[in-house]
Amino acid sequence: MKNVAAVVAVLAASVISAEAEVKTKAVEYRHGEVLLEGWRAWDDAAKEKRPGVLVIHEWWGHNAYVRKRAEQLAAEGFVAFALDMYGKGVLETTFEGAGKQAGKFKDDRKLMRERARAGLDALAKDEHVDAKRLAAMGYCFGGTVALELARDGADLAAAVSFHGGLATPMPAEAGKVKAKVLVCHGADDKFVPDEEVAGFEEEMRKAGADWQLVKYSSAVHGFTNPDAGNDPKKGLAYDEKADRRSWRAMKDLLAEAFGR
């Protein structure tokens, strides 16, 4: 009987997989007078409302990489929304241009938080989303943004940073962080110095937050993105092992936070 049950379970899973289809759609929304364009990804086969995950791009802007990550989350059963921090069609291709765009928000954390909340609001209003179960995650610049949302007391079950900056001029106040926080950090990341890591840890302790910081051996900045190259000596490189392990850590946290 156990063997029969196992076969039935496998067949059922196969049917569900066959019916599941990740759909995507570009979504325009606004923050004040700024027109933004995000990217929604969801499993069209699921009929019930699902947890929503906000995905925040690197300093280049809203690009194919962040959309791919949103689609991966949709395949895991979430509704994902890759927000747009810069404005519809604004995409940087040089370090200088990306630095200027990201710098506008790094120098104005209030603006950063408000712009990110506009994306979070767009996600929460989606008809497929259970607005009481939301999370935010981001890469590099986007990781910083996800943490700023958590610091600001956004109604998030979880906030995840992948190789993001950890310093802030607006540290979390005691008792304000509602999200379970996960920082996935390259152990050899020189873009985020040890004193910045230590400062973040102390900030989270003082805030009374539920937090984790995981370091991945030999990983440097940008370890989740294959476009970062393969030469760690440059300080920016892809690391398949760290990418795989950090994605699993994120899934475990979301499962805990959403009670799935």
Q: What is the pLDDT of residues 189-243, one digit of tens each?
A: 999 999 999 999 999 999 999 999 999 999 999 999 999 999 999 999 999 999 9
pLDDT at 17 over 50: no
pLDDT confidence of residue 47 = 84
What average pLDDT does this structure show over 6-28?
60
User: Does the pLDDT at position 14 exceed 50?
Assistant: no
Q: What is the mean pLDDT of residues 169-184?
A: 98
Residue 8, pLDDT above cutoff 90: no
Query: Tens of pLDDT along 31-86?
Result: 999 999 999 999 988 889 999 999 999 999 999 999 999 999 999 999 999 999 99
Q: Can you give the pTM of this predicted structure? A: 0.91
- pLDDT score of 197: 98
Rounded to whole angstroms, what are the CA distances from 191 to 1, 50, 80, 197, 220?
Answer: 57, 36, 28, 11, 8
Per-domain boundaries in the chain? 22-258
Tokens of residue 208, six digits: 């009374």
Find out whether 222 and 237 touch, Cβ atoms under 8 Å: yes
Residue 9: pLDDT band (50, 70, 90) is: very low
How much is the pLDDT for 46? 84
What pLDDT shows up at residue 19?
Answer: 53
Q: How many percent of the chain have pLDDT more than 70? A: 92
Once rounded to an integer, what is the mean pLDDT over residues 132-137?
98
Q: Looking at residue 18, what is its pLDDT? A: 42
CB atoms within 10 A of CB 224: 24
Q: Which CATH architecture has domain 22-258?
A: 3-Layer(aba) Sandwich (3.40)
Mean pLDDT computed over 14-22? 56
With 60 as the cut, is the pLDDT of residue 156 above it? yes
- The dihedral over CA atoms of 7, 12, 18, 23, expressed in degrees to the nearest 10, equals -140
When pLDDT is cut at 50, 70 and 90, the band that residue 20 belongs to is low
Distance CA 64, CA 46 (A): 25
Q: Is the pLDDT of residue 15 over 50?
A: no
Residue 6: what pLDDT? 40
**Sign of the C-alpha dihedral, residues 51, 57, 63, 66?**
negative
Helix (H, G, I), strand (E, B) or coil at 242: helix
